Amino acid sequence: MYEIRKHKTEIREYYLEKRRALTAEERSEKSEKVCRNMLGSATYRYADVLLMYYPKGDEIDIRPIAEAAFAAGKKVAFPRCNPADHTMVFHFVSSLEDLLPGSYNIMEPSAELPAFDLADSEKCNVACVVPAVVFDKKGFRIGYGGGYYDRYLAGFRGTKLGLVYRDFIVNSVPHGRFDLTVDVMITERGLYAKN
């Protein structure tokens, strides 16, 4: 287990540095294309509920997807993290203005806002956008090391989406028995079919 964790850390650091090396112009152009491809996908079109995350630093800026979903009348929820046990709950918001700095200085919804019931992921068309530093060709990911999404997705029955720059899909990443794959990856070049 230690070896897997160590290898993941090395890969994470390498790709975080690679992402930081992108110019603001490159990042903006690629992010825009990723968002456009997501909005043109069947996954987005048929989703009644979108579970999003608020981008931080040099992550792909997926806020335009949330804005389009609000305008289309879809339900949109963002996670609220509990650092004590590394769990999270998604809460519905009506705009990005409903988000405030929270755990890890990431924008989060208030605990008072209505929560998405994980059991509903079997009853409606729900898509969860899963953050990552890098994905592999099978849909495994290396995230930021907190385990929040791995815990959450263990009980999730909707579509799991990875939005990623094409150069950040590698042949394979180390994974353990609790690591889950995403169902679909969308890049600036279009949908990426898992191997």
Residue-wise pLDDT for 135-172, tens only, equals 999 999 999 888 899 999 999 999 999 999 999 999 99
What pLDDT digit, counting tens, does each position of 99-110 carry?
999 988 899 999
Find the Cα–Cα–Cα–Cα dihedral 56, 72, 166, 53, rounded to 10°: 30
Contact 181, 160 (CB under 8 A): yes
What pLDDT score does 70 carry? Answer: 98
Sorted by where each begins, the domain ranges of the chain are: 2-192
What pLDDT score does 194 carry? Answer: 80
Residue 121 CB contacts under 8 Å (≥ 6 apart), including other chains: 155, 156, 157, 158
Mean pLDDT of the chain: 93
What pLDDT score does 1 carry? Answer: 56
CATH code for the structural domain at 2-192: 3.40.50.10420
Query: What is the band of 130 on the pLDDT scale with cuts at 50, 70, 90?
Result: very high
What pLDDT score does 124 carry? Answer: 87
Query: What is the band of 185 on the pLDDT scale with cuts at 50, 70, 90?
Result: very high
- Both tokens of 68, joined, read 């389009």
What pLDDT score does 2 carry? Answer: 65
